[in-house]
Amino acid sequence: YVTVDDSPQALAHAREQCRWFGGMVGNHVADLVSRYGEHSASVPDALTDYIKARQGYDYSHHGRSGNPDTAFVPDEIVDRFCLLGTPERHVEKLRALEALGVDQFAVYDMHDAKESTIDAYGSAVIPVLRG
């Protein structure tokens, strides 16, 4: 979610627009926890902790923007799994991910800033990443 600025209000709105993704990823985290156990070296405690509150998750809303079953997803998880903020913040996070070995990413444009996000990627993110 590309914002015009990094104000607390802009970032709070972006988090609410993208919180559904943290809810969706909770599925995969739950699978990892069931496979590797809580507090394992394979699953960070921050992930194990956040899915503890996901009881009653309604799969009829799964993978949808505006999912009403995402109250269990804290801001820290949204920030961890999503790119939020100005184009410069997106580039920073993508470069950090690249340094960890990530070589591709997907844009889930399921929020209220679809056009401005795609425009920003075309004009201010992808050209910078290409160098």
CA distance 111 to 131: 28
- State the pLDDT at residue 24: 87
pLDDT above 70 as % of the chain: 100
What is the tens place of the pLDDT at every residue in 79-124?
Answer: 999 999 999 999 999 999 999 999 999 999 999 999 999 999 999 9
Q: How much of the chain is in helix, strand and coil states, percent to nearest 5?
A: 60, 0, 40
Q: Stretch 64-74: mean pLDDT, rounded? A: 83
Question: For all residues of the chain together, what is the average pLDDT?
Answer: 91
pLDDT digits (tens, 9 = 90+) for 45-63: 888 888 888 877 777 777 7
Confidence at residue 5, expressed as pLDDT on a 0 to 100 scale: 96
The residue ranges of every structural domain in the chain are 8-130
**pLDDT tens, residue by residue, 8-46:** 999 999 999 999 999 888 888 888 988 998 888 888 888
Q: Where are the alpha helices (DSSP H) in 55-131?
A: 75-81, 87-99, 114-120, 126-130
pLDDT of residue 68: 79
Phi, psi (deg, nearest 5) at residue 85: 115, -165
**What's the Rg (C-alpha) of the chain?**
15
- Start-to-end CA span in the chain (Å): 22
